[in-house]
A = this chain, B = another copy of it.
Amino acid sequence: MHSLNNLIIEFYDKLSSWEQSVVKDTGYSLAQVHTIEVLGSHGPMRMKELADRLGITTGTLTVQVEKLVQFGLIARTPHEVDRRSILVELTSEGTALHKHHNRMHLQLTQDITRHLDPESIKVLTQSFEKMNREF
């Protein structure tokens, strides 16, 4: 258990470094790409929910979103029922960036698992499912 814990910490650390270098190549900041990633994988959402998912305040997000809109990566649309809210969603350009980032991730996953046999991959997948559920 102790060693598994250390391996998880090491894994997280290496994934962070990888993410940082991959993001740097896009020309956008880590926070900006992270925003795109969340919108890409969860779909359009309101400011509050997005801020919560990113772990920042809505005040900070307002500024971030303004920049991303100017970059043409996301768009704001009024919320249909709640007129206090606005929905934030990816533009086609934002979607393209998200897909590109996703391909990088997939390539990484393929790279780091290339020495795992099919059975291990199966157990690994099931284990991640269970672990993600317990967070």
Copies of this chain: 2
Give CA–CA (A51, B114) in the complex, Å: 30
- Residue numbers of A with Cβ under 8 A of B are 1-12, 14-20, 37, 41, 55, 105-106, 109-116, 120-121, 123-132, 134-135
Nearest Cβ on chain B to A3's Cβ, whole angstroms: 6
Most B C-beta atoms less than 10 A away, residue of A1, A12, A124, A125: A124
Give CA–CA (A9, B12) in the complex, Å: 11
Contacts of A20 in B (CB 8 A): 55
- Give me 13 A-to-B residue pairs in the complex whose CB atoms sit less than 8 angstroms apart, sorted by A's number: A1-B109, A5-B105, A5-B109, A6-B41, A7-B125, A10-B132, A11-B128, A11-B131, A14-B132, A18-B135, A112-B134, A120-B126, A123-B127
